[in-house]
Amino acid sequence: MKNYLIKKIAPKLFLTFALILGLSMVSRADVIRLTVKEDLASCTGVAPMTCMQVKYKNSKNWELFYSQINGFKYEAGYRYVLLVNRTKRKNVPADASAYIYTLKKVVKKQKMQTQTSPWDFVVKHKWKLIQMNGVAQSNSPVYFTFDSANKRIAGKSGCNNFFGGFERNGNSLSFKQMGSTMMACSDELNKLEHQFLTAIGNQAFTYDVADQTLNLYQNNKLVLMFGTMQ
């Protein structure tokens, strides 16, 4: 009788144990609401790339989103409101997000007004140096903006501010009358600043905008690459 009961109960106990073990290995998914911006932004992971810009439920500003959302097909020019399942990973691989994101529902998809030309996009944004003479510039302090109405450029070349004028004709862009402040800097910033101002100062380039980056060329060679800043 005893052996009979053991044989009858054992499969049920095994099934219960298996279910408990399986549940313990899978994290519970949280449902979060994300607003996805209509354009991408430059970001740096293992290498320079582009990321979606999102707002969470309590976000005031757009935040860079370094992960992918499984099942979501992003289309530039549209702003999305999404419900997303967010599951925490048990063992997080190197250089990977702590979460897995999976689309639950597209709540809203809205067509947004797009820029009429690449140059309209250029003058709208602040640009951060991400590559110079083929060398990636991670966490670079160098950035600038264009004042299209007055044909002026201004920004930071390291620890100093720089400024000057520019001329644009089609896809040609030239800089002139460049200058900067003269604050004391570290040797590292001095070197970066000298390289950047030499590369851009009173120089002529052709330019294009690709994958949310502003690229400056000389003799068909990429000299400077900039990404958009918040």
Structure tokens at 66: 């370094």
Same domain, 46 and 94: yes
Say yes or no: 170 and 209 in one domain: yes
Pairing between β-strand 69-70 and β-strand 99-111 as defined by DSSP bridges:
parallel
Looking at the structure, tell me whether residues 78 and 166 fall in a common domain. no
pTM of the predicted model as reported, rounded to 2 decimal places: 0.53
Dihedrals φ, ψ of 2, to 5°? -65, -45
Tokens, residue 78: 């549209």
Q: Note whether 148 and 196 are same-domain residues.
A: yes
Which residues are bridge partners to 166 per DSSP? 175
Query: Is the domain of 145 the same as that of 169?
Result: yes
Residues 84 and 123 in one domain: no
Show which of 65, 92, 111 is a domain's final residue: 111
The count of domains in the chain is 2
Residues forming beta bridges with residue 183, ordered by sequence position: none
Spell out the per-residue pLDDT of the chain, length 230, in tens: 545 444 555 555 555 544 444 444 445 779 999 999 998 887 777 666 788 999 998 888 999 999 999 999 999 889 999 999 999 988 777 667 889 999 999 999 999 876 568 898 899 899 999 999 999 998 899 999 999 889 999 999 999 999 999 999 999 999 999 999 999 999 999 999 999 999 999 999 999 998 789 999 999 999 999 999 86
Using alpha carbons only, give the angle 73, 215, 110 rounded to the nearest 5 degrees.
30
Phi/psi class of residue 170: alpha, beta or left (left: φ > 0; alpha: ψ in -120 to 50)? left
Question: Where a domain ends, among 111, 128, 156?
Answer: 111
Together in a domain, 44 and 131? no
**Burial label, 42 (beta-carbon count in 10 A; 0-12, 13-18, 19+):** buried
DSSP per residue, 88-104: E-SSPPTTS-SEEEEEE
User: Do 132 and 225 sit in the same domain of this protein?
Assistant: yes
